[in-house]
Amino acid sequence: MNSSLQKQILSIASFSENEIEKIDSCFEYEKFNAKEFLSEMGKISNKIFFIVKGLARVYYLKDGKEITTYLSYDEGFIASYSSFINQSVSFENIQCIEDCEILSISFEKMQYLYSEIPNWERIGRILAEQNYLCMADRVLKLQMIPAKEKYLTFLESAPAKIIQRTPLIYIASFLGITPESLSRIRQSIS
């Protein structure tokens, strides 16, 4: 098993060597180029992705504009969780911002691991909880915090790699402000 994936999984729950091998056999290694899609709106999102290396985003379209809702990079998970959990058509896209090396697990393999390894359910629960908390925090901040404060909070809370590697247009979209407003905010604090 990839050491970074194993580290992430073992930070959540413990598994025997046998179970680790079974888990490993359920993940598929894939490579994607920058701008390629891991999952597309209008289709059922059948996989959860672990980014071994790279940067990706989740976004949806509103009035023809791309609204970024989530950013993930090296050693992080990313998915269209609502579509994945319900096996329903996704309203989101997952797109690579950089070339990405990915380990993915399908819905069917997740269900298989739930039935075979009782402790695997903890992994699914923690991923779902983290996704919920991230989305709830984001909605709250978008509705209640002024633009400049959103950006300053983002700078304080986001990992440096995301700040350095994500194009400003995606950061502005993630914060719910225009690129022009973000540019003005950045000039006012420098």
Task: Look at residue 52 in the predicted model and tell me its pLDDT.
Answer: 96
Instruction: Using the structure block, give the residue that is written with the tokens 């590697």.
Output: 165
Query: Does residue 16 sit in the same domain as residue 109?
Result: yes
Query: Does residue 33 sit in the same domain as residue 109?
Result: yes
Name the pLDDT band for 99 (thresholds 50, 70, 90). Answer: very high
* Amino acid code (one letter) for 107: F
Query: Does residue 125 sit in the same domain as residue 178?
Result: no
Task: Look at residue 133 in the predicted model and tell me its pLDDT.
Answer: 86
Task: Look at residue 10 in the predicted model and tell me its pLDDT.
Answer: 94
Q: Lowest-pLDDT range, 59-68, 90-99, 101-110, 135-144?
A: 135-144
Task: Look at residue 1 in the predicted model and tell me its pLDDT.
Answer: 77
Is 35 within 8 Å of 95 (Cβ atoms)? Answer: yes
**How long, in residues, is the chain?**
190
Name the pLDDT band for 172 (thresholds 50, 70, 90). Answer: very high
- Distances in whole angstroms, Cα of residue 132 to Cα of each of 125, 129, 148, 184: 10, 5, 25, 31
Query: Does residue 118 sit in the same domain as residue 176?
Result: no
Is 45 within 8 Å of 90 (Cβ atoms)? Answer: yes
Task: Look at residue 12 in the predicted model and tell me its pLDDT.
Answer: 93
Segment 91-109 shows an average pLDDT of: 97
Tokens coding 53: 């290396």
In a domain, 139, yes or no: no
Cα–Cα dist 181/135, whole Å: 23
In a domain, 140, yes or no: no
In a domain, 137, yes or no: no
Tokens coding 15: 């598994």
Single pTM value for the model: 0.90
In a domain, 138, yes or no: no
The domain containing residue 155 runs over which residues?
Answer: 145-190
Q: What are the phi and psi torsion angles at 112 (to 5°)?
A: -60, -45
Query: Does residue 99 sit in the same domain as residue 11?
Result: yes
Segment 86-105 shows an average pLDDT of: 97
Segment 42-46 shows an average pLDDT of: 97
DSSP letters, 170-183, are HHHHHHTS-HHHHH
Query: Does residue 65 sit in the same domain as residue 96?
Result: yes
Query: Does residue 87 sit in the same domain as residue 179?
Result: no
Residue 103, strand partner residues: 29, 50
pLDDT surpassing 90 at residue 48: yes
pLDDT surpassing 80 at residue 59: yes
Cα–Cα dist 116/118, whole Å: 6
- Number of domains the chain contains: 2
Query: Does residue 30 sit in the same domain as residue 123?
Result: yes
Q: What is the CATH number of the domain that holds 12?
A: 2.60.120.10
